[in-house]
Amino acid sequence: MRLWLYPDSVSVLGSAGLLLLRLPVGAAFLVHGWPKIQNPFGWMGPEASVPAIFQLFAAVAEFGGGLLLIPGLLTRIAGAGVAATMVGAMALYHIPVGNPFIGAPGQASYELVIVYLVCGLLLFLIGAGRYSADRFVFGIPVEFQQKPTHWQLMYGSRNVIGGRVVQDVTERLEARGNGARNQAADKAVFEPLANATVVAIAQGDYGFAIAMFRECYALAREFENNNACEIHKGAMTFNVAVAYLRANDFAAAMHYFELAQIETQRTTADPGWGIYDSGLFQQNYWNILNLFEQQQPLPLYNTFWATTFGAAAARDDWGHLSDHSKLLYVMLNAEGISFRRLSAEPHMAVSDSFGLAYWNLIADLTRLLETEIRFRGIAGGGLQAQILYNVLNSPIAGFHGIVQGAGSLNALHPVNSPATFNAHFPAIRTIISDPAETRERSIAAAAYLAGITRNQVQHQVDTTMLLFTDRAAAVFTAEVLLCLCRIDAWVA
């Protein structure tokens, strides 16, 4: 009821306008109603045909309404009374006697009645505004008013920005015409989206960047269908790929990177153009590895290959992979960065979901290594067999003898089950990471770990294995496998 009596929805300027309306209208009705309230049941005279009760209602509505309108108290009720009185005046007097809406000078009319009727309806519909007694009597005290939260304000701003971006892109599409693909011109069409996306990504609002892309991409596809033409959409698909990458949705990110590649190949008529060799991908993906290496170094990589793991090293490793594995390597590197960041979050050490995520990462890395060794013409029933029996001409001196034969890793640490994996893993990890060990023995032990890991993770998730139960073991194994992706350094 309080909200109805004082709807706090009128602006400051609107409230000022209502105050200027209420004061003269209230004063006028106070004056008109004063003589009537003196004789409320018979102010129309003894000959009047209007029932006394209606005369009372009109007298109270005019005098009482005027009295309430001036301070703005019970304004909506007063406005309703004024409006009803004016309707009664029209129905019971002006229309029956035939008075015109606007009469000649000195002639009776119902022009003023209509004005008062509209004023009464206006005050009934929206109330008195802020400058009124209603606000102080029925308004919610300031200390109890619910202020919009930071997130509500931000959400409202996002809607405004998103709506403006969509409107700007729509207008630019309408002005474009149905010409052929043009990389520079079409980039300008989607410039509002690009600018907003860059800001959203910088602020960490990846969902907003993705939502804007979806709306604008739908507009672009609709325009293409309606105008029987094609637009270059490479920039917008690349930007949303970056948003998905930052949001750790790697499958979606790689999809849109590929889509950006296809768009650019079509526009430039260059089927050999590759997204992963582009400067933009260097800036938004490869260079992130440099930053991450500074924050969370991968010292084992430097131990193995005498170089720091970063953009240059990762891109070089990627360049030596077959086309079967290049996309997987990019995705797994991104996942590895994400997981290593998440590992510092609370309770990650006991999180089964995080354990499963690392399990899958490790399985994918061993699958990549197996694929690459097979691609180099080295046969074998699986990664473990390849490493034990078929990597015979490794650039790592004595590699085969370290992993297989008398006194070898396979002889000292045989693994053929989850239980034996758990039993021998600590010793193998020590060989890999111990500075006192030779570089050759550490790398061979890393390859041996890759082989026995592949055998244990490829068919099922075993929640009894250290790779699932011990997060440090999982992180270490994933880092070892990532180091081994420099495949030509240890497989010939």
416-469 pLDDT, tens digit each: 999 999 999 999 999 999 999 999 999 999 999 999 999 899 888 999 999 999
Q: Are 471 and 349 in contact (CB under 8 A)?
A: yes
Neighbour-count burial for 418-451, b at 16+ CB within 10 Å, e otherwise:
beebbebbeebbebbbeeebeebbbbbbbbbbbb
User: Which residues 6+ apart lie within 8 Å of 16 measured at CB?
Assistant: 129, 131
pLDDT at 409: 96
194/70 same-domain check: no
CATH number of the domain within which 270 lies: 1.25.40
Say if 283 falls within a structural domain.
no
The pLDDT, as a whole number, for residue 155 is 54
Domain that holds residue 224: 151-277
Model confidence pLDDT, tens digit, residues 456-468: 998 889 999 999 9
Band (pLDDT 50/70/90 cuts) for residue 268 is very high
The confidence score (pLDDT) of residue 221 equals 95
Establish if 181 belongs to a structural domain. Answer: yes
What is the 3-state composition of the chain as percent helix, strand, coil, each rounded to the nearest 5?
A: 70, 0, 30
> Residue 175 is encoded by which pair of tokens?
């002005």
Determine the residue type at 19.
L
- Lookup: tokens for 308: 């720091």
- Which ranges constitute the DSSP H helices of 127-249? 133-138, 150-176, 183-189, 191-202, 206-227, 234-246
Residues 364 and 457 in one domain: yes
| pLDDT value of residue 135 | 87
Confidence of residue 290 (pLDDT cuts 50, 70, 90): confident
In terms of domains, do 122 and 155 share one?
no
The predicted model scores a pTM of 0.64
Q: Which residues of 41-62 are buried (b: 16+ CB within 10 A; e: fewer)?
A: eebbeeeeeeeeeebbbbbbbb
Q: Is residue 245 part of a domain?
A: yes
Same domain, 182 and 241: yes
Distances (CA, A) of 412 to 201, 406, 417, 427: 51, 9, 15, 10
Domain boundary among 212, 246, 277: 277
**Are 124 and 219 within one domain?**
no
Same domain, 109 and 207: no
Domain total in the chain = 3
Task: Give residue 396's pLDDT.
Answer: 96
Same domain, 123 and 203: no
286 assigned to some structural domain: no
Do residues 338 and 376 share a domain? yes
Q: Is residue 285 part of a domain?
A: no
pLDDT at 156: 63
Two tokens at 67?
């009295």
Average pLDDT, the chain: 89
Domain termination residue (choose one: 144, 173, 205): 144
Residue where the block lists tokens 């197996």: 370
In a domain, 395, yes or no: yes
Mean pLDDT of 100-105: 85
The confidence score (pLDDT) of residue 105 equals: 82
Banded model confidence at residue 43, pLDDT cuts 50, 70, 90: confident
For 243-371, where are the E strands, in sequence order?
A: none
Kindly indicate the confidence band of residue 42, based on its pLDDT and cuts at 50, 70 and 90.
Answer: confident
What mean pLDDT do residues 74-89 have? 92
The pair of structure tokens assigned to 461 is 């998730």
Q: Is residue 178 part of a domain?
A: yes
| Range in 91-95, 136-140, 188-192, 196-200 with the lowest mean pLDDT | 136-140
Q: Give the SS3 label for residue 461.
A: coil
Query: 242 is written with which tokens?
Result: 């970056």
Residue at which a domain ends, from 250, 277, 304: 277
Residue 284 lies in a domain: no
Residues 304, 445, single domain; the answer is: yes
Do 319 and 456 reside in the same domain of the chain?
Answer: yes
Write down the pLDDT at residue 141: 58
Residues 102 and 178 in one domain: no
Q: Let me know whether 476 and 328 are in one domain.
A: yes
